[in-house]
Structure 1
Amino acid sequence: MLHTTIILLVIALLSLVAKDLVLVYASLLLLGLSLLKAVPVMDAIQKPMFHVGLFCLMVFLLIPIAKGKYDFISLGKEMVSWKATIAILAGFIISYVGGKGLSILPDQPVVFIGVTIGTLLAVLLSNGLPAGLIIAAGCIALLSRIFNF
């Protein structure tokens, strides 16, 4: 229990320094649940929270369409460009890699901690964006498969 508390506090503090408030709040919520020994609650919310997060991201990304920023004609013209082709390919590759990352994260917490620290350092030192933990874990999963580590 003490180890869990320390790890979550360190993540919360590093996140606070990096101004990643989402991770601060998540760490503190889980710290509270951990201190309350609410393991059944954590088990119950783990999978749905992933989907809630994806839902929120999709809402964010679809708002310009909902606001009428794009129409069929302009989208149709854009979709035959090289940029669109590369974007589709990138989306496919990143989704594939992300799927690999999602499968490795629950079984290898060191990967999660590592990519979290790397993300926080990027945010803190280079104005990076605290996104891509799953993609980074996917890269680790693919590299570990290739290099057998």
Structure 2
Amino acid sequence: MNWDNMPLVVILVLAVIGNNQSVSLAVAVLLVMKFLGLTTWISSIENHGLDIGITILTMVVLTPLALGRVSIVDMMVAFKTQAGLVAIIVGMIVSWVATQGLYFLKASPEATTALIIGTIGGVCFLNGLAIGPLIAGGVAAMIINLLNSLKQ
């Protein structure tokens, strides 16, 4: 086996140990694609996967609306309760933080590896979700910006 595959194999082992099916499946698919020589497909996933994934996640979140389980009245109630208002504000903040994370990951490839390791650890051992790198990147960017501003 090619040593270039070892990080994926290690992540696969951690995912299996951590009983995380989504990470196990993702790594297994990537390994199979590598073994079959489908590197252009892997490059396409790298280039377009995030947009496709965010679109699918957005569809999942909007599914209750499409199925009629949430009405316009239900949505208006969210503006009238403390929990609803907090959820709206936090949703907006986290969305912005994720955007900062996307910029950070593109600008700091050296941090991407560390964020991936942290996310895999969180997914495998803390029952987290693999969506973490964007949020983690945003939080990391904010902390780094804060530390840089304190140095000046």
Return the TM-score normalized by structure 2: 0.76
Structure 1 residue 28 displacement after superposition? 2.5
Structure of greater relative contact order (alpha carbons < 8 Å, 6+ residues apart): 2
User: Does the 8 A contact of 1:20 with 1:130 survive in 2?
Assistant: no
2:77 aligned partner: 77
2:136 aligned partner: 136
Distance change >3 Å, CA 5–CA 107, structure 1 → 2: farther
User: Does the 8 A contact of 1:119 with 1:133 survive in 2?
Assistant: yes
1:105 aligned partner: 105
- 1:77-100 superposed Cα distances (whole Å, 9 cap, x missing partner): 222323222222211211111112
Q: Which moved more, 1:10-19 or 1:122-131?
A: 122-131
Structure 1, unpaired ranges of 5+:
none
Structure 1 residue 6 displacement after superposition? 0.9
Map 1:18-29; keep pairs closer than 5 Å: 18-29=18-29
Q: Which moved more, 1:7-16 or 1:110-119?
A: 110-119
Map 1:31-110; keep pairs closer than 5 Å: 31-36=31-36, 38-106=38-106, 108-110=108-110
User: Does the 8 A contact of 2:78 with 2:85 survive in 1?
Assistant: no
Distance of 1:125 and 1:33 partners within structure 2: 26
- 1:40-94 superposed Cα distances (whole Å, 9 cap, x missing partner): 3322232321122112212221222222222222321222323222222211211
User: Does the 8 A contact of 1:18 with 1:120 survive in 2?
Assistant: no
- 1:94-116 superposed Cα distances (whole Å, 9 cap, x missing partner): 11111121223345455344334
Aligned residues between the structures: 148
Return the TM-score normalized by structure 1: 0.77
Distance change >3 Å, CA 91–CA 63, structure 1 → 2: same
Distance of 2:105 and 2:39 partners within structure 1: 18
Distance change >3 Å, CA 143–CA 25, structure 1 → 2: same
Structure 2, unpaired ranges of 5+:
none
Q: What RMSD in Å do the two structures reach over aligned CA positions?
A: 2.7
Distance of 2:93 and 2:44 partners within structure 1: 31
